[in-house]
Amino acid sequence: MTGRLTPPPGGEVESVTTRVLASRRYRHVDPALVERLAAEETPKAKNLADVEKRTKRRLHQIFGAYTGQPDYTKLLLNLTAAWQTGDEAEIRAACREAMAAHASTRERLAVLDEFYERVFAITGIPTSIVDIAAGLNPLAVPWMQLGTDTRYVAYDIDSQMLGFVDGALELFGVPHRAETRDIVSDPPQDTCDVALLLKSVPCLDQQDPAASARIIHTIRARQVVVTFPTRSLGGHAKGMAQNYRTRFESLLAELGSGFALAGEVELANELVFVIDRDAGREMRDANEMAH
């Protein structure tokens, strides 16, 4: 039998989804994401084995390349032990150890002492944060200087990693929720002061070039912090800063007149842009009043 598979009524996709989720590497990934990727790859594939291979390749591109298989139980025990000392230096050291388990947060460790200080100088200290494609970024809470009532919501695709994040935020005493979700097909609709979309646009673009704008439109955030890496995972610049600055400009154009650039920060390895939804609305309202 030759030829490509046609989009199935469910059987082929379900079979591939089950096989991928049974693998050690991807067993904790959100099933909705695996199912979507399998469905997208099925019409392109020669057979079921090819669908599985293609699905795993895409999972590696958007997830597997950024994190190994850390011992989250051990990391939480270490963090708990540090927390019980009450020593800020020990707590931060344990958080740094944990964040080093994910490439995105590992790259930010060198500038962590100034990252949120400079970002929140633009946004103000938020009373509610939604961290979209959070990874291990919630472990940066000790650097954020948040109020005791600040609510933190974290979304990602790995339930095991989010279980660790949930335990860490519980330890920190931060009101929170940690939820697995395929944000491409089901963008968050939370209301918050600040939404974080840190170094995630390139991964979203690999899945759906319209996804980033759709997510920012859907989230009811006063401000959105969007960042881009300026070096590859291998440490090479390759003109990435200029390329991603151009990508941000196109993203802002996609968002339309209801959004405006509130400020930007350039740090080692990362470009940071703050999008102000209120400012964009105020500009539009002022123009309408003028006419």
Q: pLDDT for 25-45, tens place per residue? A: 888 999 999 999 999 998 887
Instruction: Report the 10 Å Cβ neighbour count for 52.
Output: 19
Strands (E), 230-278: 260-267, 270-276
Q: Could you tell me where in the chain the CATH 3.40.50.150 domains are found?
A: 102-286
Q: How far apart, in whole angstroms, are the C-alpha atoms of residue 41 and residue 51? A: 6
Q: Which tokens sit at 236?
A: 């090479």
Residues 129/194, Cβ–Cβ less than 8 Å: yes
Look up the CATH architecture of domain 11-64. Answer: Orthogonal Bundle (1.10)
pLDDT tens figures, 172-228: 999 999 999 999 999 999 999 999 999 999 999 989 999 999 999 999 999 999 999
- Per-residue model confidence (pLDDT) at position 240: 76
- Per-residue model confidence (pLDDT) at position 171: 96
Q: Could you tell me where in the chain the CATH 1.10.8 domains are found?
A: 11-64
Q: Which of 142, 92, 134 is nearest to 116 (CA)?
A: 142
Cα-Cα-Cα-Cα dihedral sign, residues 109, 171, 166, 118: negative
Q: How far apart, in whole angstroms, are the C-alpha atoms of residue 164 and residue 74? A: 10
CATH homologous superfamily, domain 102-286? Vaccinia Virus protein VP39 (3.40.50.150)
Residue numbers in the chain where pLDDT is lower than 70? 1-10, 64-66, 231-237, 279-291
Helix, strand or coil for residue 22? helix
